Structure 1
Amino acid sequence: MQLGFRLAAFFHPKARLWIEGRKQLWRQLEHYQPSPQTAWFHCASVGEFEQARPVLETFRKENPDWKIVLTFFSPSGYELRKNYNQADLVCYLPLDTAKNARQFVDIIQPKMAFWVKYEFWYHHLHELKKRNVPVLLFSAIFRPDQIFFKSYGGFYRTILKCFSHLFVQNEESLKLLKSISITNVSLSGDTRFDRVVEIAREAKSFPVVEQFCGEAKVLVGGSVWPEDWETIAYCINEYVGKHTLKYIIAPHEIDIQQIEQWSNEVSVKSVRYSQATSEAIQQADLLWIDNIGMLASLYRYGHFAFVGGAYKNGLHNIVEAAVWGMPLFFGDKKYRKFQEAHDLLALGSAHAVADGTEFTRIFTNLLQQPDLYQHEAETSRAYVYSKIGATEQIMHSLKV
């Protein structure tokens, strides 16, 4: 695996960060002073951190004397949150070898560990089990096609037995685990719902965006990949001159050259957020978000959301949009791993679309039927609020 990353590092900046970050890790840890009361939170990347955050911050509030160590596997998570002030140490997870796991646990000396969703690192988890350190896995979700549930998955099932307790998102995960005799499981839901409700309550306002939106109906495109943009751009061009619409688009990767290319593919004037003057905003119908960190709060300005990733590597966070109450759209390819996508599709307030033609047809239908629009908007919001409470359940388990 490490060799693969070194080869990839020649071609991809994130792979270079992965290698360089781990080179610096042990030097970073030389200055760490362990505490007899340390909680270790581990996340794969940014999305899992958002799931960890409500539990971590509640734990910090209720246990102010404990140290908190926060680790990431991915450069995306580490680079964005390396200065996170609710943790005493933020660092990469070492490469998963027996020696590294032993050395890392020796240094941080955790009394308790919290792992998020689907991080299953054999050596680190076995090292914690060997030392009788309780490890909770939360916001976990399992599928029948995973290796744990195959006849040849015995080795991988030993990893699951390292967890003291598993908090899962859905009934299917509960049943799957029990089918392989993993019984220390609770159905708690996804802590991400707690987090997005918290974000919504504390959401920032952006005067520039408010001025841009005015009284228009607004479509927000979040974490948009090229394949998503193709679908959105088709709809934008179909609506030129037909309806007062505004578009806020946050690309998955901030690439100015790509933004300029995309701007040339639609017949509306656009402006980048970093260059938005009052005059430019008045003339533009499309606002490009050319920074990181605004998206969750930007959904507040939307009447519709198209959430990216489902044509490519996997759907991004639709709950961030749903909490604001709006119909949701995403690609029809890679959304099946996400329980909230299934739920909202079944409820009728989300739409998995194959292309721009299908997107435009459903979008038009909602614009023309205010009652249908309102029903879908209210359904999305009510769904999110019906799912909060996972953090409280996890924290309650620590007190029993």
Structure 2
Amino acid sequence: MNLIYNIIITIYQFLIVLNAMFNSKSKEWLRGRKNLWTDLELKTKNKKNIVWFHCASYGEYEQVKELMKAYKLKYKSHKILLTFFSPSGYLNFKDLNIVDFVFYIPLDTKHNAHKFIEIIKPIKVIFVKYEFWFNFISKILKYNIPLYFVSVVFRYDMFLLKLSWFRNNLKKITHIFLQDENSADIISKHEFNNFSICGDTRFDTVFNNAKKIKENNLIKKFCENSFVIIGGSTWRKDEEILLKYIKKFPEKKYIIAPHELNSLNKLQKDTHGIMFSKATLENIHKSNVLIIDSIGLLPTLYKYANIAFIGGGFTKGIHNVLEAIVFKVPVIIGPNHHKSNEANELIELEYIEVVNNYYEFVTAVKKLNFTKISEDYIKKNRGAVKKIINAI
């Protein structure tokens, strides 16, 4: 099975190189790693007590940010090295006060895993969610370095869990911090004993972020005295529903923050919206649509919304609904939400409405306009960071 895994990694590398000829994200994936080894050796030379945190992308970083802050407070002499797999994480990372080093993770080949570990010599490694890179895992454990996975969720239909090779590798991990009891039940049946239930660190992150958000006078002026719908992390299928609604209800205000920024001009043409980067206090009311053309601003905007339409429910899966819920903003999502524990819970509480088309969206807006959200949901689910930090 190791051979098959390494063949898959080689094929993946070939496909990235091929795709880079047509795709800017793949091109950046390669470009960002061009001088990785030189930079890594130069910046970490003679540095001791390095603790390596790894995230796939920016969303996973937001999930683990409060844990990194807590770790920094507990272990002041340790150096935090953060890696990303995706350019969307690396390029939009700005919290340099939290970490000491930030890099791309190299592709998970045996050679790269060995070289990376030899250079940084970490004393601990923390991977977030599903970053199961098995050459790295093997090399980390070979050197007897504690390896932790945080905020992990397992499901009964997870194909990899059916493979004994996958399960055996995971059983070697020092500890797996799970989000929920369902995940614990699943891996207990496979005779795992290296896990505990700690909850989702995102609850700590969104709660603490919400307390620190400052007033944005430009957004406040745009939204004043209006019913505001925010489209958060939207994809094209989400935006098609929003476009119909905007034309039908022009009296409302709309803020759209696309998940990808490569089709902003088309979105602006379709909505006649104004780009946030071009907005001023003088021109902010020239359109009823404001397009957020940067990454990282979205979590600070939900406080101004009456309703949030969270994207991804018509593609691979919904994005973070907690960022809106923490501000007591009811949420609309598409049908692909089943992998989100918190979304499923919030649907039962009737804080979230699921829609399959434009007509259901119209009905959902009318219904949620009268929804009042309690603070209790976020408060009772906080505390994962404290549980993890006490264990590592």
Q: Deviations over 1:209-246 (max 9, x none)?
A: 11111122211111111110111222223324xxx522
> Is 1:290 matched up with 2:293?
yes
Identity of aligned residues (%): 37
Q: Report SS of the residue matched to 2:283.
A: helix
Indicate the RMSD between aligned Cα atoms, in angstroms: 1.6
Distance 2:94 2:140 in 1: 24
Q: Which residue of 1 aligns with 2:13?
A: 2
TM-score of the two chains, using structure 1 as the length reference: 0.91
Q: Which residue of 2 aligns with 1:324?
A: 327
Q: Report SS of the residue matched to 1:87.
A: coil
Paired residue type of 1:396: N
Q: Deviations over 1:340-390 (max 9, x none)?
A: 1111112111111101100101212333xx3xx22xx33xx4322221100
Paired residue type of 1:294: L
Q: Which residue of 1 aligns with 2:380?
A: 386
Q: Structure 1 249/144 Cα, relative in aligned 2: closer, same or farther at 3 Å?
A: same
Of 178, 189, 193 in structure 1, the residue corresponding to residue 188 of structure 2 is: 178
Paired residue type of 1:397: A
Q: Which residue of 2 aligns with 1:226?
A: 236
CA contact (8 A) 1:82 1:91 kept: no
> Is 1:62 matched up with 2:77?
no
Q: Structure 1 275/148 Cα, relative in aligned 2: closer, same or farther at 3 Å?
A: closer
Q: Deviations over 1:277-328 (max 9, x none)?
A: 3343334322222222211000010111001111122211111111000210
Q: Which residue of 2 aligns with 1:260?
A: 268
Q: Deviations over 1:167-200 (max 9, x none)?
A: 1111111111111111121111110110011110
CA contact (8 A) 1:328 1:351 kept: yes
Compute the displacement of 1:22 (Å).
2.1
Paired residue type of 2:186: L
Q: Which residue of 1 aligns with 2:364?
A: 362
Q: How many residues align?
A: 379
Distance 1:214 1:90 in 2: 39
Q: Which residue of 1 aligns with 2:98?
A: 86
TM-score of the two chains, using structure 2 as the length reference: 0.92
Q: Deviations over 1:266-286 (max 9, x none)?
A: xxxx32222323343334322
CA contact (8 A) 1:323 1:385 kept: no
Q: Which residue of 1 aligns with 2:86?
A: 74
Distance 2:232 2:104 in 1: 27
Paired residue type of 1:231: I
Q: Which residue of 2 aligns with 1:397?
A: 391
Distance 1:286 1:113 in 2: 44
Distance 1:211 1:231 in 2: 26
Q: Which runs of 5+ in 1 are unaligned?
A: 265-269
Distance 1:7 1:42 in 2: 26
Which stretch of structure 1 is more off in the superposition, 74-83 or 22-31?
74-83
Distance 1:121 1:48 in 2: 16
Q: Which residue of 2 aligns with 1:267?
A: none
Q: Which runs of 5+ in 2 are unaligned?
A: 1-11
CA contact (8 A) 2:153 2:179 kept: yes
> Is 1:248 matched up with 2:258?
no
Distance 2:110 2:13 in 1: 14
Distance 2:364 2:213 in 1: 29
> Is 1:14 matched up with 2:6?
no
Compute the displacement of 1:137 (Å).
0.7
Q: Report SS of the residue matched to 1:7.
A: helix
